[in-house]
A and B are shown apart, each in its own frame.
Chain A
Amino acid sequence: MSKRRATGLLLTMLALTGLLVVNVLPLLWGVLTSLKPNGDILRYPPALTFAPTLAHYERVMQEGFGHNLQVSLLNTLAAVALTLLVSVPAAYAFDRARFAFRRPLYMMVVACIPLSLGASALIIPAFVWFTRLGLTDTPFVLPLIYAGYQIPMAIWIIKNAIEAVPVEIDEAAVIDGCGHFGTLWRMILPLARPGIGAAAILAFVGSWNEFLAGSVMVDAASLKPVQPAIYAFVGFFGREWGPLTAASTLAILPIVVAFALFGRLIISGLTGGAVKG
């Protein structure tokens, strides 16, 4: 028995080490590279000790990366706000109200979860179409598109959260004189907060990481978000890994912060099972 436990412990340690090497090491090594002087980046074998420098960060800032970060932050926050603003009432109605076509309509929303994953297939006709509508190359086109991608999943997660709030709460609120909006705002929202938080954090991650719409729908440098900017850097900096890793580090910083603060919410959001990959 104790031999089996020792084997189990050994396996756990091995698996844990493997996970750290494969999933964490690339990020750590990326951060280290971004702080190395050029000579140390090119040194063989790879240097573990070096005099850290912020030169690569200054370099990407000179290329306008600070502005890209700002654009992405604004886009993402606007997209998250819009997603919640639209999804919370919809989720409430889908769960608590009874109306004609409720089920087919809800099925359509659920179908839009994987559909938004495949939306990139149609990015070219979407580009031509949105250009006709006068939406492309405007500051609000990306927040709109990102919210559109995130709304189906958010409705799903928030509806599940509202479903878990007992109807007796609504009844009590009504007796106390709340209308249905008051019931939603004062009673249900506070109780559904973890679900709403999970929806918000997944919308944040999805919008921040989006690449294709960001590179197609806006052309002006002043509107370019982070991911297309980094892809442009790959061509621009070529084999200069200092600036490339510096930009990468800055680009994953908000995600890592969100992850550290709300990692459990991300897992609980995913656990619903409907979320896209």
Chain B
Amino acid sequence: MAASPTRSGSPGGFCAGRMPSLSAAAYLIPSVAMLGLILLSPVAYALWFSLQQIDYGAPVGFVGLANFRALLDDPSLAPMLGRTLVFTAGSVLLAVVAALALACWIDRLRGRLAVVVQLLAILPWIISAVVATLLFRWVFVHDLGLSFAALRALGVSPVQPLSDPEGAMALLILVAAWKRIGYAVIVLLAGLKSVPAELGEAARIDGARPWQQFAFVTLPLLRGPLVLVTIVLTLSNLNTVETPLVLTGGGPAGATRVLPIEIYERAFVNFDLAGATTLALAAFALNLVMVLAYVRLVRLHV
């Protein structure tokens, strides 16, 4: 049964005889069962749940698409989606651009320094969003924090960005990007390392200036990693409730009430399980589009 396409490195012929499908199944069933239970079965349940009338958290009868109609009729939906778009686009764009700059810089460093800088870069990414956001708030946006003190020492009187709608959104975008830049740096750096040096060399001999080399040689070759990072960061921003929850709580006056916090509040503050599930399913459909794009992209280098 060596019908599947061969990969480089391990041609399949030999092992086909070694491991019959039955044992392969024994090796696979635990993982497939776990994924089915934890990741896939809730989706199926959510679909069924969203078609039910929900009273006090319990499904009491089939109502068809009534929950979805209620969602679409909700006048707060459009502004919320608008805020989500601003937040996600802003923070993904900021993170990708900053990560690209950092990755290009790290790519030129040599030896131990390169490793140390990479480790420094991913520090906010490996710390939980709750703690990272909390500490960021304490140090950089608190009246008693370090940055306010530094500004006062420079003779500038700082304004609290969290008390103003635009400021709060800008800060949320900044913190969400800060938390994830490190991940993007590592992935883009790996992409940069796989760009053959001869290509840059050839472009230089042909008279390309450094920025031309970057724009016409490096950037096109980074397309795969750039798209991958964009997809993963978009998913991450659309699904992380901790950063807005700890930084702004959706405020002031709902100015930073973005999709994940909207779902969270509907469920746990308003106890509107039907509304929360319907919205979550809509968000899930959005996720699914990106998951498909991800699989197509990753397939390229499987």
Tell me the A residues contacting B by CB distance below 8 Å.
Answer: 11-12, 15-16, 19-20, 22-27, 29-30, 33, 41-42, 44-46, 85-87, 89-90, 92-100, 102-103, 105-126, 128-130, 144-145, 147-149, 151-152, 155, 163-164, 166-167, 170-171, 174, 180, 205, 208-212, 216, 226-227, 230-231, 234, 241, 244-245, 248, 251-252, 255, 259, 263-264, 266-267, 270-271, 273-277
Given contacts A112-B35, A125-B45, A147-B34, contact A209 B122 (CB under 8 A): no
Map CB proximity to A onto B118-148 as digits: 1 under 8 Å, 0 otherwise: 1111111111111110111011101011100
Q: Flag whether B228 is at the interface (Cβ < 8 A).
A: yes
**Bound form: Cα–Cα A129–B38 in Å:** 10
Given contacts A115-B291, A118-B235, A227-B128, contact A44 B149 (CB under 8 A): yes
**Interface pair B294/A114, CB less than 8 Å apart:** yes
**Interface pair A12/B280, CB less than 8 Å apart:** no
**Bound form: Cα–Cα A57–B92 in Å:** 37
B219 to chain A, nearest CB (A): 17
User: Which residue of chain B lies nearest to A15 when distances are taken between CB atoms in the complex?
Assistant: B105
**Interface pair A111/B38, CB less than 8 Å apart:** no
**Interface pair B11/A264, CB less than 8 Å apart:** no
User: Which residue of chain B lies nearest to A229 when distances are taken between CB atoms in the complex?
Assistant: B130
Other-chain contact of A20, B23, B120, B245 (Cβ < 8 Å): B120
Given contacts A41-B144, A234-B246, contact A263 B263 (CB under 8 A): no
Other-chain contact of B129, A112, A209, A234 (Cβ < 8 Å): A209
**Bound form: Cα–Cα A192–B15 in Å:** 18
Q: Flag whether B171 is at the interface (Cβ < 8 A).
A: no
Tell me the B residues contacting A by CB distance below 8 Å.
Answer: 1-4, 7, 9-12, 14-16, 18-19, 21, 23-28, 30-32, 34-35, 37-39, 41-43, 45-46, 49-50, 57, 102, 105, 109, 115, 117-132, 134-136, 138-140, 142, 144-146, 149, 152-153, 178, 180, 182-184, 186-187, 189-191, 225, 228-229, 231-233, 235-236, 238-242, 245-246, 260, 263-264, 267-268, 273, 276-277, 280-281, 283-284, 287, 290-292, 294-295, 298-299, 301-302
**Interface pair A148/B39, CB less than 8 Å apart:** yes
**Interface pair A118/B109, CB less than 8 Å apart:** no
Given contacts A42-B144, A118-B287, A273-B301, contact A125 B295 (CB under 8 A): no
Given contacts A107-B299, A148-B34, A273-B225, contact A124 B117 (CB under 8 A): no
**Interface pair A19/B117, CB less than 8 Å apart:** yes
> Which secondary structure dominates where chain B touches chain A?
helix
**Interface pair A171/B14, CB less than 8 Å apart:** yes
**Interface pair A90/B16, CB less than 8 Å apart:** no
Given contacts A30-B138, A170-B15, contact A23 B121 (CB under 8 A): yes
Collect the chain B residues with CB atoms within 8 Å of residue A46's CB. 144-146, 149
**Bound form: Cα–Cα A147–B30 in Å:** 12
A206 to chain B, nearest CB (A): 9
User: Which residue of chain A lies nearest to B285 when distances are taken between CB atoms in the complex?
Assistant: A121
**Smallest CB-CB A-B distances: 6 pairs:** A148-B38, A125-B46, A209-B128, A118-B287, A126-B42, A93-B27
B72 to chain A, nearest CB (A): 18
User: Which residue of chain A lies nearest to B235 when distances are taken between CB atoms in the complex?
Assistant: A117
**Bound form: Cα–Cα A102–B130 in Å:** 39
Given contacts A102-B4, A125-B280, A209-B129, contact A267 B42 (CB under 8 A): no
User: Which residue of chain B lies nearest to A159 when distances are taken between CB atoms in the complex?
Assistant: B302
**Interface pair A277/B233, CB less than 8 Å apart:** yes
**Interface pair B31/A166, CB less than 8 Å apart:** no
Q: Apart from A99-B25, A112-B35, what 16 extra A-B contacts exist at CB < 8 Å?
A: A29-B138, A45-B153, A92-B27, A117-B236, A118-B291, A121-B260, A125-B280, A128-B57, A128-B273, A144-B34, A148-B38, A151-B34, A248-B135, A271-B189, A273-B301, A277-B232
